[in-house]
Amino acid sequence: VALPRSAELVVALLAVLKTGAAYVPIDPDYPADRIAAILEDAHPMAVITVESAAVEVPAGTNRLLLDDSATRQALDAKAGDDLRDDERSGPLRAGTPAYAIFTSGSTGRPKGVVIEHRALVNFLTSMQERFGLAAGDRLLAVTTIAFDIAGLELYLPLLNGARVVLAAPDQVRDPLALRSLITAAGVTVMQATPSLWHAVVADARDELTGVRALVGGEALPGELARTLVSRTASVTNLYGPTETTIWSTVDEVHAEAGGVSSIGRPIANTQVYVLDTGLSAVPIGVPGELYIAGDGLARGYLNRPDLTAERFVADPFGAPGSRMYRTGDLVRWNAEGRLEYLSRIDDQVKVRGFRIELGEIESTLAAHPDVARAAVVVREDRPGDKRLVGYAVPAGGAVLDPQDLRAHAAKALPDYMVPAAVMVLDELPLTPNGKLNRRALPAPEFTAGTKGRAPRTAQEKQLCELFAEALGVEQVTIDDNFFELGGHSLLATRLISRIRTVMGLELDIRPLFENPTVAGVVDQLGNVKKARPALRRMDRSKYEERS
């Protein structure tokens, strides 16, 4: 299913599930090479899309275009009743696959995780027991369908009589637009990563007062936790890998949240173990690897029995034949019987909520014909600003251009996996035992170009200062590219927010992505209005129909 965010997307996902088939969610904004790799591995019988998505379909695969008149006529001719088992290719059972979602893979190719109906139903049932959505609730869906947590946003409200409010991609990138949508739509529940919540609460007033905040996808910083508690109706921290179906543990967050991220206790029909390297349970307070068992476990990796056997291992604490999943996360039990997340054991990282295998980015950079070796790390040289940085060693006498390497990566990787900077090194630093010494890799220097024009007006000067502030550099010219200086989508939202606050301008975020320079922003200012005052939540009851 490769559709833009729309009601048709939700209908298509539900339709596939009702047929007994499994869907592979694809974000049509992903690079063509990545979409092609997913389709090659998935071997789908059909691709549901629209002409405008421009998704190339493998030879022999049916392309079902929802915006084609013939398709519309065929759909209109179908009965509106639910399918019966005899109308499906096979019976719909608990063990029937529901979806296969592709995540970053350490070998350089994404891997598909197959989730069965039993796991999805168990998860949604447990979430409803906890959150109790009802007819008056409106859940704001902000997550791409290529990220498994979108399953909560789309299905939990619809299964329980509540409503889904689909945010457009431009609204998700714009905190002011998102807060305005929250108010206008009467949103009562919103799920987002800590990175997105940071942007949403930055300049919030009382727009979030009645919103229940669900947070997950990366560690929840204590400062953000306390801010959310003070501005929202409630805050819930959720944790779980894709391989155990969206979220596996949950914890209510309170005002006294500390620096260690508590991920709470397991959801229904889920068992969690904190084990040492010998698979023995560790005492309270002692770090160990987290293993997860129970009804939420995935069937495994699509067409990857070797990797499935490596990550899904026998559960020595369960019934004969039961399995548990090795998460690779280092955690510990606290004295209250809650899990605390500490770090990763391997090279998998989370950046702005997205799960990333550094090896996949390294493989992509190393595939460039002029690159001999490559390494990638996540740097946080400024608090809260995580950036991917690549390092490349040229092959032979080749001369490498860092921007060419970023462009090479962008052809195969989604934007959140493209390094903010690539540094060319004569050699990669090694430890005494010959392994890559990631700690010795130098910090990138994001500096303005020498050929750019200096600001010519007071307005351009102010914008240059705001660009430099957002990027953490000393200065920029009016021609410097925001993204080539280390900018990313989250920094872009912060920049737009600062422009609105400091300059009082109602600037949309899209032009910054289309022409990411001060000169480009200035070109848009002729059509820009003064910033509007923030919308305030109003009592909706007086406007509801009465009988």
CATH number at residue 280: 3.40.50.12780
Same domain membership, residue 467 and residue 319:
no
Same domain membership, residue 233 and residue 187:
yes
| pLDDT, tens digit (0-9, with 9 covering 90-100), for 248-295 | 999 999 877 665 678 999 999 999 999 998 999 999 999 999 999 999
Same domain membership, residue 299 and residue 189:
yes
Same domain membership, residue 297 and residue 213:
yes
Same domain membership, residue 79 and residue 159:
no
**40 domain-assigned:** yes
**341 domain-assigned:** no
Are the beta carbons of 312 and 300 closer than 8 angstroms?
Answer: yes
Structural domain that includes position 521: 458-526
Q: How many domains in the chain?
A: 4
- Out of 406, 440, 474, a domain closes at 440
Are the beta carbons of 437 and 430 closer than 8 angstroms?
Answer: yes
| Phi-psi map region of 444: left, alpha, beta (phi>0 left; psi -120 to 50 alpha) | beta
- Provide block-wise average pLDDT over 10 residues at a time, the chain (547 residues): 93 93 93 90 92 86 90 84 80 92 77 96 97 96 92 96 93 88 96 88 88 90 86 94 96 76 93 94 92 96 93 94 93 92 77 79 87 87 80 88 90 87 87 74 73 86 91 87 83 86 82 86 70 48 35
Give the model's pLDDT for residue 88: 83
Same domain membership, residue 261 and residue 139:
yes
Task: Give the tokens for residue 170.
Answer: 């431009």
Same domain membership, residue 432 and residue 306:
no
- Out of 387, 414, 440, a domain closes at 440
**469 domain-assigned:** yes
Same domain membership, residue 221 and residue 284:
yes
Distances (CA, A) of 72 to 17, 69, 194: 20, 5, 40
Same domain membership, residue 367 and residue 314:
no
DSSP letter assigned to residue 305: H
| pLDDT, tens digit (0-9, with 9 covering 90-100), for 410-423 | 888 888 889 988 98
**451 domain-assigned:** no
Same domain membership, residue 414 and residue 298:
no
Give the model's pLDDT for residue 542: 38
Same domain membership, residue 64 and residue 133:
no
For strands 323-333 and 339-344, give the pairing: antiparallel
CATH number at residue 21: 3.40.50.980
Query: Hey, which residues does 111 pair with through a beta bridge?
Result: 103
**108 domain-assigned:** no
Say which amino acid occupies 232: T
Give the model's pLDDT for residue 163: 96
Q: What would the DSSP string read from start to end of 374-422?
A: EEEEEEEEETTEEEEEEEEEESTT----HHHHHHHHHTTS-GGGS-SEE
Are the beta carbons of 477 and 464 closer than 8 angstroms?
Answer: yes
- Out of 275, 301, 334, a domain closes at 334
Task: Give the tokens for residue 491.
Answer: 């920094």
pTM listed for this prediction: 0.77
Please name which of 270, 293, 269, 295 lies closest in space to residue 116, comparing C-alpha atoms: 295
Same domain membership, residue 261 and residue 188:
yes
**448 domain-assigned:** no
Give the model's pLDDT for residue 489: 80
Give the model's pLDDT for residue 546: 32
**290 domain-assigned:** yes
Please name which of 274, 278, 276, 307 lies closest in space to residue 293, comparing C-alpha atoms: 274
Give the model's pLDDT for residue 543: 32
CATH number at residue 462: 1.10.1200.10
**70 domain-assigned:** yes
